[in-house]
Amino acid sequence: MKKFSLLAAAAMLAVVLLPVSGQAKSYINGIDANYPPHAYVDETGKPAGFDVEALDWIAKKMGFEVKHQPMDWDGIIPALLAKKIDMVCSGMSVSEERKRSVTFSDPYWSIKKVFVVKKGTKTSVDEIRKGNKRVGVQRGTNEHELLEKEVENKTSNFTLRFYDSGPMAIEDLLNGRADAVAMDSAPANDAIAKGKPVEIVGEFAPNDDFAVATRNEDQELRDTLNKGFKLLMADPYWKELQAKYFK
């Protein structure tokens, strides 16, 4: 009777533990709430965008769950390091500064860095750099870091104005409170596609690579993401995403 009871107890324990051991891993992805078309919150309050849908596909393919958490961009790496989120897949540029605190996945996208002005403005990249202009930039971005160094090194004499998002900087440009905006080409083209009367003057820095930021110790997650992106890029859905978000 004792032997039967022990076997029955072991069987019951296995049944109880089975759902737990079979649960998929769950991760939180921190995103910029206003960085179209890569990541944003749509009119229904749902996270959307190229990076969001790409990561959703990878999560389904690789067998994990992901939640997208909108947050302020300038605090997103501190949130990652504090383990409030597990990764940043949201149009984040790889930079030497960021590499000091996080480790990136393999790059999955390349982007241009451009100056945007009001449509019809007669100016150039050099005139923006040397003409004592007011240049808007999203705080916490690579553009912020690059242009701040130009001012510090006195290679440019513009005045920087900082914003929580690229679209906010565009609005100040249109309202006359900025002469130009420094941003990635994707949100610049998105603003143009949405009918904003702005145009791209030219590029002010080499292209950036986008990759997923993770904590240094999370090698297993990076391996999963790298494999997932390779599978995605080989799938027709990759081109479908590009056609949807980069018209």
Read off the pLDDT of residues 124-142 as tens digits, 9 standing for 90 and up: 999 999 999 999 999 999 9
154 CB-near residues (< 8 Å, 6+ apart): none
Name the fold adopted by 112-208. D-Maltodextrin-Binding Protein; domain 2 (3.40.190)
| Domain spanning 21-108+211-245, CATH class | alpha beta
CA dist 168 and 48 (Å) reads 19
| Contact status, residue 28 vs residue 64, Cβ threshold 8 Å | no
Q: Note the pLDDT tens digit of each residue in 21-80.
A: 467 899 999 999 999 999 999 999 999 999 999 999 999 999 999 999 999 999 999 999
100 CB-near residues (< 8 Å, 6+ apart): none
Q: Which residue has the higher pLDDT, 100 or 2?
A: 100
Q: Are strands 180-184 and 134-138 parallel, antiparallel or unpaired?
A: parallel
What's the predicted TM-score (pTM) here?
0.84
Range(s) within the chain of domains with CATH label 3.40.190.10: 21-108+211-245, 112-208
